[in-house]
């Protein structure tokens, strides 16, 4: 299976002339597998994840997605790639508290220009896959933390992305819910999808296929 | 993101962020209402002053044949009446007293004028028909004075009898005719004075100079001129001054309102930074964020402008001012545009916030 995501000679510093977090890091993220970005606090796990998610621009090196260097693409192009080819799961789910679960799940589809009827159909299918159909019309305040994180996974998968990026997705969950969320992320690797998780939790690392230690 | 989806998202945001939405609507309503009430009053006052100055003759040039040299024949009156800067022009003979021919000498007289040119330029027909050359219309006060019971009959000057075929009211600025009889002139009549109404006060000077050149008097003293030019210049100056006051008021009210709206939108953007950061992370472009913030401001601004227009017109009426539909519509559009444009900077600021900064959990 061809790798969808790769980094070459990657460097990043928050300030000009400041500490280089990665020192020319290169890695190919295996398709159809879950990779953990690990390391002590402050080593740049989340920074690397956001760079893979095209929200930060590397100071040197390349982020290659589907064979194209997209790390230094224009902001508009990166936004379009985020909407269509990447899925995000944030530590605190980051759901809009004023909107229903269904509206939250289909949100990336709107930015990808997918008609609402089609987006709604995809969103309902994702919710059904993760056993959340009954919660479609609930608001985030009416569901549990574990369910909210599964909703975030549905949202990450709604546009059928090639890469799913998760930042400490189980950081706020108990073991039971963490296992359900990790199982959902494992399920996301089907059809050759690449899943990358930034974590320092050994329990999460134990559920991944590869590890990039920073 | 399609326009429909953008509108749907903006409406949803308006409904969930009720306080900022209500503040934007309130500010736009206040902008609209206060502009209509204050500037509307000024515009109305300006219109009243202009009308009064028009009535005072700021647009009327009077030319008199001072030496009775027959300088104002019908052909000259007609030529001046057809100038592009002329609204109306007529010639009048020296007034002559007439009495009701049916009663005869000794009855109460009324003044009569022969009108050279289009008689409808000085009179509005009330009853009867327009007179043919040598026929007359009588005003209501003159009808009563002459004892013409139904407004028809004949009047006599002692040397000439004239049929009265209807009644009229005098048109401004020919109010002096309101107490008498107007007789449609025959081709042989020559005017003693000519009254030319310019299209605007600004045209008065041109009307005057063109009239003088068309009359072509042999000597300057042959023609006596009552010039409105000074009054017209005063009218234009008053108009400019009032216009300047109105523009300053509009700019002040709209500028102040726009600034307050910008502060409200900026505060809203700061409160919702996590929401906007999430949208950016999920694929919203900067243009989408800018459009979302501006459309989300435009919706309550439109509602506020509608309410403000209603309140402003009510207040303007209560202040005895009628700003007019065009002015009211312009203020609604300007207030809405001021509110929308004031959201541009906060929208651009929101679009350039780093999503990572707001999404990272310490």
Measured between alpha carbons, how far is B234 from B82 in angstroms, rounded to an integer?
26
Cβ <8 Å between A75 and B274: no
- Does B97 contact chain A (CB < 8 Å)? no
Q: Look at residue B216 in the predicted model and tell me its pLDDT.
A: 80
Query: Do A83 and B278 lie within an 8 Å CB cutoff?
Result: no
The answer to whether the CB atoms of A80 and B361 lie below 8 A apart is: no
Which residue from B minimizes the CA distance to A85?
B283
How high does pLDDT run on average in chain A? Answer: 87
The domain that contains A198 carries what CATH number? 3.40.50.300
Query: Looking at beta carbons, which residues of chain A come within 8 Å of B281?
Result: 53, 55, 82, 88, 90, 94
**What is the distance of C-alpha B213 from the center of its chain?**
32
Closest approach of chain B CAs to the CA of A91, in angstroms? Answer: 7
Question: pLDDT digit string (tens) for A25-75?
Answer: 899 998 888 999 998 887 888 889 999 999 888 888 889 988 888 887 888
Give the closest of B9, B12, B282 to A108, CB-based: B282
* Residue B284 to residue A50, Cβ atoms within 8 A: no
Angstroms from A210 CA to nearest CA on chain B: 24
At residue A168, φ and ψ (nearest 5 deg) are 45, 60
| φ and ψ at residue A67, rounded to 5 degrees | 85, 0
ipTM for the whole complex: 0.89
pLDDT of amino acid A102: 94
Domain range enclosing A151: 5-213
What integer pLDDT is reported at residue B228 of this predicted model? 72
Region B59-85: mean pLDDT is: 90
pLDDT tens per residue across span A99-113: 899 999 999 999 998
Cβ–Cβ below 8 Å for A53 and B9: no
pLDDT score recorded for residue B325: 81
Test the B interface: residue of A77, A81, A94 with most B CBs within 10 Å: A94
Q: Pairing between strand A210-213 and B110-116? A: unpaired
C-alpha–C-alpha distance, residues B120 and B118, integer Å: 5
Q: Is B362 a residue whose pLDDT tops 60?
A: no
B55: confidence class by pLDDT, cuts 50, 70, 90: low
Phi-psi group of A174: left, alpha or beta (phi > 0 → left; psi -120 to 50 → alpha; rest → beta): beta
Question: Distance of CA B203 to CAs A197, B209, B312, Å?
Answer: 81, 10, 35
Residue B282: list chain A partners with CB under 8 A: 82-83, 88, 107-108, 111, 155
When pLDDT is averaged across residues B229-253 and rounded to a whole number, the result is: 79
pLDDT digits (tens, 9 = 90+) for B297-350: 999 999 999 999 888 888 878 877 777 788 888 888 999 999 999 999 999 999
What length does chain A have?
214
Where residue A2 falls among pLDDT bands split at 50, 70, 90? low
Using a CB–CB cutoff of 8 Å, tell me whether B268 touches chain A.
no
* B359 interfacial to chain A (CB closer than 8 Å): yes
**Contact (CB, 8 A) for A194 and A4:** yes
Q: DSSP per residue over B266-330, as a string? A: HHHHHHTHHHHHHHHHTT--HHHHHHHHHHHHHHHHHHHHHHHHHHHHHHHHHTT----HHHHHH
Cβ neighbours of A213 (radius 10 Å): 11
Q: Is B78 on the interface with A (CB under 8 A)?
A: no
Domain ranges of chain B: 3-51+236-356, 59-228
Is B361 in contact with A88 (Cβ distance < 8 A)?
A: no
Q: Do B279 and A107 touch (CB under 8 A)?
A: yes
Per the structure block, which two tokens stand in for B153?
């009959």
Encoded tokens for B222: 């042959």
Looking at A205-209, B17-21, B68-72, B234-238, which range is the least confident one?
B234-238
Question: ω before B173 within 30° of 0 (cis)?
Answer: yes
Give the nearest partner residue to B9 out of A91, A92, A110, using CB atoms.
Answer: A110
Question: Out of A92, A111, A167, whose CB is closest to B1?
Answer: A111
**Statement: residue A1 has pLDDT above 60:** no
Q: What mean pLDDT is predicted for residues B279-306? A: 93
SS3 content of chain A, % helix, strand, coil (to 5): 40, 20, 40
Q: Which residues, in sequence order, are CB contacts of B227 under 8 Å at separation 6+? A: B61, B204, B208
- The answer to whether the CB atoms of B285 and A76 lie below 8 A apart is yes
> Which chain A residue shows the shortest CA-CA distance from B278?
A94
Give the residue-averaged pLDDT of B164-184.
Answer: 92
Q: Which residues contact A49 (CB under 8 A, 6 or more apart)?
A: A37, A165, A166, A167, A196, A198
Query: In this model, does residue B133 exceed pLDDT 80?
Result: yes
CB of A50 within 8 Å of a chain B CB? The answer is yes
Facing A79 at nearest CB: one of B5, B8, B283: B283
Contacts of B9 in chain A (CB under 8 A): 110
Check CB contact under 8 Å for B356 and A56: yes
Mind telling me how many Å the CA of A110 is from chain B's nearest CA? 5
Distance between CA atoms of residues A160 and B285, nearest Å? 19
Would you say A171 and A91 are in contact if contact means Cβ atoms under 8 Å apart?
yes
Q: How many domains does chain A have?
A: 1
CB contact under 8 A, A76 and B287: yes
User: What does the block give as tokens for B36?
Assistant: 């209509």
- Structure tokens, B100: 């009701």
Instruction: Identify the closest residue of chain B to A42 by CA–CA distance.
Output: B362
Can you tell me the distance from the alpha carbon of B83 to that of B70, in angstroms, rounded to the nearest whole number?
A: 21
CA B83 → CA B74, B225, B229, B232, B286, distances in Å?
Answer: 15, 18, 18, 19, 60
pLDDT score for B361: 59
Instruction: Tell me, yes or no, if A14 comes closer than 8 A to chain B by beta carbon.
Output: no
Sign (positive/negative) of CA torsion B260, B264, B267, B269? negative
Q: Give the Cα-Cα-Cα angle A189, A193, A196 (nearest 5 degrees).
A: 80
Query: Quick check: B72 and B63 in contact, CB under 8 A?
Result: yes
Task: Tally the residues of chain B.
Answer: 362
Residue B122 and residue B177 in contact, taking contact as beta carbons nearer than 8 Å = yes
Inter-chain CB proximity A53 and B285 less than 8 Å = no
pLDDT at B139: 94
Cα angle vertex A52, ends A48, A54, to 5°?
115
Tokens of B76: 């000259």
**To the nearest whole number, what is the mean pLDDT of chain B?**
87
Q: Are A37 and A196 in contact (CB under 8 A)?
A: yes
Of B255, B277, B343, nearest in space to B14 by CA: B343
With CB atoms and an 8 Å threshold, state whether B359 touches A94. yes
Q: List, in order, residues 6 or more apart from B248 with CB less than 8 Å away.
A: none
The partner residue sitting opposite B282, judged by closest CB among A50, A88, A167, is A88
Give the C-alpha distances (Å, rounded to integers) separating B155 from A47, B118, B132, B140.
106, 22, 15, 15
What are the residues whose beta carbons fall under 8 Å from the beta carbon of A95, sequence distance 6 or more?
A: A101, A104, A140, A148, A151, A152, A155
Residues in chain B closer than 8 A to A99 (CB atoms): 12, 16
Question: Does the distance separating the beta carbons of B275 and A111 come in below 8 Å?
Answer: no
pLDDT of residue A17: 66
Q: Does A155 touch chain B (CB under 8 A)?
A: yes
Q: Do A79 and B280 touch (CB under 8 A)?
A: yes
């Amino acid at each position: 299976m061809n790798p969808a995501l790769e980094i070459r000679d990657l460097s990043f510093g928050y300030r000009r002339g400041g500490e280089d977090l990665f020192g020319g890091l290169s890695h190919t993220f295996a398709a159809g597998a879950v990779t953990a970005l690990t390391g002590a606090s402050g080593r740049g796990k989340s920074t690397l994840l956001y760079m893979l998610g095209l929200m930060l621009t590397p100071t040197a090196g390349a982020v290659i997605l589907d064979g194209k260097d997209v790390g230094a693409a224009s902001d508009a192009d990166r936004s379009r790639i985020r909407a269509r080819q990447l899925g995000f799961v944030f530590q605190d789910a980051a759901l809009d508290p004023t909107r229903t679960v269904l509206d939250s799940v289909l949100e990336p589809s709107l930015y990808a220009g997918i008609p609402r009827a089609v987006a709604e159909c995809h969103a309902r299918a994702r919710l059904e896959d993760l056993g959340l159909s009954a919660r479609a019309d609930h608001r985030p305040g009416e569901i549990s933390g574990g369910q909210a994180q599964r909703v975030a996974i549905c949202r990450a998968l709604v546009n059928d992305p090639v890469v799913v990026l998760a930042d400490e997705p189980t950081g706020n969950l108990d073991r039971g819910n963490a296992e359900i969320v990790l199982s959902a992320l494992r399920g996301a690797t089907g059809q050759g999808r690449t899943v990358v998780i930034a974590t320092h939790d050994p329990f999460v690392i134990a559920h991944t296929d590869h590890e990039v230690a920073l | 993101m399609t326009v429909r989806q953008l509108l749907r998202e903006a409406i949803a945001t308006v409904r969930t962020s009720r306080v900022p939405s209500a503040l934007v609507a309130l500010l736009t309503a206040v902008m609209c209402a206060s502009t209509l009430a204050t500037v509307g009053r000024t515009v109305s006052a300006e219109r009243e002053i202009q009308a009064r100055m028009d009535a005072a003759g700021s647009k009327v040039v009077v030319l008199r044949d001072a030496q009775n040299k027959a300088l104002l024949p019908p052909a000259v009156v007609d030529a001046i009446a057809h100038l592009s800067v002329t609204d109306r022009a007529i010639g009048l003979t020296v007034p002559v007293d007439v009495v009701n021919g049916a009663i005869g000498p000794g009855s109460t007289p009324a003044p009569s004028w022969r009108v050279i040119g289009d008689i409808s330029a000085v009179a509005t027909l009330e009853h009867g028909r327009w007179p043919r050359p040598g026929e007359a219309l009588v005003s209501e006060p003159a009808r009563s004075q002459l004892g013409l019971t139904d407004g028809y009959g004949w009047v006599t000057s002692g040397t000439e009898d004239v049929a009265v075929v209807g009644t009229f009211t005098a048109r401004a600025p020919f109010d002096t005719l309101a107490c008498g009889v107007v007789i449609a002139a025959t081709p042989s009549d020559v005017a003693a004075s000519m009254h030319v109404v310019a299209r605007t006060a600004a045209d008065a000077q041109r009307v005057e100079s063109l009239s003088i050149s068309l009359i072509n008097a042999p000597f300057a003293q042959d023609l006596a001129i009552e010039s409105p030019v000074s009054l017209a210049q005063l009218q234009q100056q008053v108009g400019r001054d009032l216009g300047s006051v109105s523009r300053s008021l509009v700019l002040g009210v709209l500028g102040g309102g726009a600034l307050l709206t910008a502060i409200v939108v900026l505060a809203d953007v700061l409160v919702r930074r996590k929401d906007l950061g999430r949208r950016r992370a999920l694929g919203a472009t900067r243009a989408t964020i800018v459009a979302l913030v501006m459309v989300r401001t435009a919706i309550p601004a439109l509602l506020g402008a509608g309410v403000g227009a209603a309140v402003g017109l009510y207040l303007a009426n209560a202040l005895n001012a009628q700003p007019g539909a065009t002015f009211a519509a312009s203020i609604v559009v300007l207030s809405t545009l001021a509110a929308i444009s004031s959201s541009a900077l906060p929208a651009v600021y929101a679009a350039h916030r780093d999503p990572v900064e707001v999404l990272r959990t310490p």
